[in-house]
Amino acid sequence: MSHRFEKNAGIALLAGSFLMIATMILHPAGGDLKHLIKIQKIIIVSHSLALLSIPFSFVGFLGLTRRLGTEHFLSLTAFSVMSFGLVAALGAAATNGLALPFFLQDYQEASPETLATVKIMVRYNFALNHAFDYILLGAMWLAILFWSVTALLTSKLHQAIGYLGLSLTLVAGILITAGYDFVSLQGFRLFVLGSVVWIALVGVAMIRSRTVRKE
């Protein structure tokens, strides 16, 4: 793999990480139906940033996989799993960040009876979004674990990155076993923050690499 592609992939990972952090900062904390209608522009903007992060992240993860070696089963499996997770991220951002505010804007002056029906549909939307979140979190957890193990086995990334990835996945696994809710807004922010730290470090390592690899 050429150094230019590897560097650009690292930049893509940093760009995706920045957009994910921006999404978490702008992401509203929720509220009742009237509040959701009132903040629909913020919802659209924050989730649009999340959508924008997906193609950057995809290219960056492709570069990481090529860096570690597509001939390594765990590395290629990690990319496959993460790609599946990015599809779930697309679904979550589209349903909760675009479809929901577009749907609600037609009911700003609705009657109480109509709003009661709308609330049921909004709860279904949230349930669907949680399903996408579970898929995304599970995919990120497994992919980071596989990439970290591959990094330690191949020494094609700094070993500290591999050990950090293993530590993050271990802590997340313990918290999940203990019943911590990563699908709540605060839990999701915590999981994304830990993942973004690892992803950003990988991006920096790829940018700084001076080794030319060919497959």
Q: What is the 3-state secondary structure (H, E, C) of 39-71?
A: CHHHHHHHHHHHHHHHHHHHHHHHHHHHHHCCC
Average pLDDT of span 38-43? 84
Q: In the predicted model, what is the mean pLDDT of residues 108-130?
A: 82
Mean pLDDT of 9-24: 94
Distance of CA 32 to the CA centre of its chain: 26
Q: In the structure, what pLDDT confidence band is assigned to residue 12 with cuts at 50, 70 and 90?
A: very high
Structure tokens at 213: 């690899």
Q: How confident is the model at residue 185 (pLDDT cuts 50, 70, 90)?
A: confident
**pLDDT of 135 above 60:** yes
Residue 9's pLDDT is: 94
The sign of the dihedral angle between the CA atoms of 72, 73, 78, 80 is positive
Angle at which helices 40-68 and 185-208 cross, to 10°: 40
pLDDT computed for residue 1 by the predictor: 53
Q: How much is the average pLDDT of 32-53?
A: 85
- Tell which phi-psi region holds residue 209, choosing left (phi > 0), alpha (psi between -120 and 50) or beta: beta
Cα within 13 Å of Cα(75), Cβ side = 21
Token pair listed for 13: 């990972």
In the chain, the percentage of residues whose pLDDT exceeds 70 is: 94
Measuring CA to CA, which residue among 199, 207, 180 is closest to residue 8? Answer: 207
Residue 205 in contact with residue 152, Cβ under 8 Å?
A: no
